[in-house]
Amino acid sequence: MQALIFDVDGTLADTETAHLHAFNAAFAEARLDWCWNEALYMRLLKVAGGKERLLHYWRMVEGEEAGGAQALKAVDALHALKTRHYTERMRGNGLPLRPGIARLIDEANAAGIRVAIATTTTLANLDALLQPHFGAHWRTRFAAIGDAGTTHAKKPAPDVYHDVLEQLGLPAAACLAFEDSENGLLAARGARVPVIVTPTAYTSRDCFDGALAVLPHLGDPHTPLEQTVRGESLRWVDLPVVRRWHRDAVHGVNAAAPMPLNASTQ
């Protein structure tokens, strides 16, 4: 195992509520009568990418207008408003990283294991989320970054993983991915990268067949897992644990992964 590849939204941090509020703030600023609630947003998350999600919804409610020649320009403008609201919210309040994320990244950096990002979000959103945790030079912590601007096809297409693997100069079997959603799992597996899944309340009902493990978070001394995963009694997932799981995946060792957890366990 030579690299860990992390999704961002829902994986590094539980960002989806902040994104939902930013979308609704953009709708209000643009004087649209749209308002997404959590149940609707959970369904819309099946569409990866903010612009793609906006266009999908527009086609749902106003199919004729959404097919017009100016639709893509309108979506670009609306998404720019949403990004501004999101980045302002992040820089004003910030969001904690999910348990175990900062610790595992530190462990990997110390051990010479490269860390990468494979996401459908924008670089502006990445900067707003990660700068409070890793400082202005946060990008130096990551050996490769694949984001919304680096590939055209969004998850569940594997394109962003192929891009990150090319940046790293590594085969898929030398890497391990971390995702929170079915789309992310499919993208990583489509690139033949083994995957650990940590769902959120928004993705807990997704199908995670084929994941190495499905668990509520990676755990920390102050937020332990206290559960059995792949036959191991764990308090948190550290670098030796993911090395073992990765080795099992590469060598085709089957171990029972837990079923996806429901929202009440998040």
pLDDT digits over 131-149, tens only?
A: 999 999 999 999 999 998 8
What pLDDT, on a 0 to 100 scale, did the predictor assign at position 253? Answer: 66
Roughly how many angstroms between the first and final C-alpha of the chain, as a whole number? 28
- Rounded to whole angstroms, the Cα distance separating 211 from 113 reads 21
195 touches 257 (CB < 8 A): no
Q: Look at residue 261 in the predicted model and tell me its pLDDT.
A: 39
Alpha-carbon distance 185 to 209, whole Å? 9
- This prediction has a pTM of 0.90
Locate tokens 């764990």: which residue?
234
CB 242, CB 3: distance < 8 Å: no
pLDDT of residue 36: 98
Give the catalytic positions in this structure: 7, 9
Domains of the chain: 3-14+97-265 (3.40.50.1000), 16-93 (1.10.150.240)
Residue 184: in which H helix or E strand, if any? helix 182-190
Q: For residue 9, what are the β-bridge partners?
A: 13
Which helix or strand (DSSP H or E) is residue 18 part of?
helix 16-29
For residue 15, give Cα distances in angstroms to 99, 128, 189: 14, 11, 23
pLDDT < 70 regions, the chain: 92-93, 253-266
Give pLDDT tens digits for 173-230: 999 999 999 999 999 999 999 999 999 999 999 999 999 999 999 999 999 998 888 8
φ/ψ (deg, to 5) at 197: -115, 130
What pLDDT score was predicted for residue 257?
A: 42
**H or E stretch including 3?**
strand 3-6
